[in-house]
Structure 1
């Protein structure tokens, strides 16, 4: 069964169409990089699928059903820049927010919930910062906390919007190790990614996007000079020539 199926999806900002005729079918257990130039609709694609931005046309199916019926199976990590990091809360509370879909917004987290949240923080190397205000964390630490929040959901599908932007090398390595562990556990992960030099190392599938799908499939088949240049308008130097 498909984890995520998109048919004839289109979307716009005001009168500017940013996505059109988007079609793809994601199978379980894959780690996909969503790659394309700035303004190609990568972040918008995630937001439209998650009903955070309206679509013009098309169908979105999660596990052959609607998002409303499957939302507990879907984890989302937004761009760090879109989050209000001055909100007065600590790292542990941020991670606990990932459990509200299961424990309810108007119930106090139980001891087992806090233990699960601490386990997720520990996995991301952030247990010692559980009581730290998120505004006092570095960019890389904030991203680790946000990933811990997604992990605690124990979702089947994870959608992540540029989780590697602005983080140090150690955090990038820790995040990618976690994503590959999720894949090995049978989870499905889709990541908006900007660094073409690491696509082949990081992802087993790649989606080349420039307002529509240029090509999607296994990385070794899709991530070619011709396809990448087509996605970037033919002006990109092929990195393997360097």
Structure 2
């Protein structure tokens, strides 16, 4: 069995006195690529933010590599939702990526030529080298997402959390992002991704975590990504069209 890199026990969290997460238990093994899926309001983003101490938790015990967050945080990378970022901040793409190195550089020190080279190489990996000196506000949504993924890559973390990195991006960017995530997995990295498109879960992830305020199911995609578990998680508002690949439609919208 692979090493456990994330162990969550009895996690709970709320927004304005409304409980959004309760009794959350799960473990994640090293070298896995996990899709976190669930309906709107299920607590997917809150889960990631609570794990990373960006949102207060009511209770629970979370261990990263057997340690608390403060000791393990240098081994963790995070890509937030694009909508939560102030894209009007006056900085260029290369500087945004270089910020991912500040945990190693130190906030009061200037990045060296070596650091800038590493940041540029991460941009190039995401097909964004030509935009290194472009103001971040002048980039398209897909380009901004590639820059943020490059910032996470340059950290060379062991565990990555990504909050809907595919939301609102074009097909080419989606393909590039998923190729990068699968490459991370092949290198033994562990990645958890909040994902909204059920039709691509089986194609993209080897593990899936069904969430609706608590963990409904969690395990290998081939074992638990079933109509029964989807209906249980989404409240039965799903229509299934049986074809060679399972297609899922949310009938509540």
TM-score bracket for this pair, using the shorter chain length: over 0.9
Match of 1:148 in 2: 150
Q: What SS does the corresponding residue of 1:24 show, helix, strand or coil?
A: strand
- The superposition leaves residues 32-87 of structure 1 with CA deviations (integer Å, 9 ceiling, x where unpaired) of 00000000000000000000000001001111001111111000000000000000
1:135, 1:155 → 2: CA distance? 26
Match of 2:82 in 1: 80
Match of 2:24 in 1: 22
Within the candidate set 59, 62, 73, 2:61 is matched to 59
TM-score, reference length from structure 1: 0.99
Match of 2:202 in 1: 200
1:207, 1:70 → 2: CA distance? 23
- Residue 219 (structure 1) aligned with residue 244 (structure 2): no
Structure 2 residue ranges without an equivalent (≥5)? 248-253
2:74, 2:58 → 1: CA distance? 25
Match of 1:132 in 2: 134
2:159, 2:165 → 1: CA distance? 15
Match of 1:42 in 2: 44
Q: What SS does the corresponding residue of 1:182 show, helix, strand or coil?
A: helix
2:180, 2:240 → 1: CA distance? 29
1:177, 1:32 → 2: CA distance? 14
2:163, 2:240 → 1: CA distance? 24
Q: CA deviation at 1:239?
A: 4.3
Q: CA deviation at 1:235?
A: 1.4
Match of 2:125 in 1: 123
1:196, 1:178 → 2: CA distance? 20
Q: CA deviation at 1:98?
A: 0.3
Q: CA deviation at 1:240?
A: 3.2
TM-score, reference length from structure 2: 0.94
Runs of 4+ in 1 over 6 A off after TM superposition: none
Root-mean-square deviation (Å): 0.8
Match of 2:109 in 1: 107
Q: CA deviation at 1:14?
A: 1.4
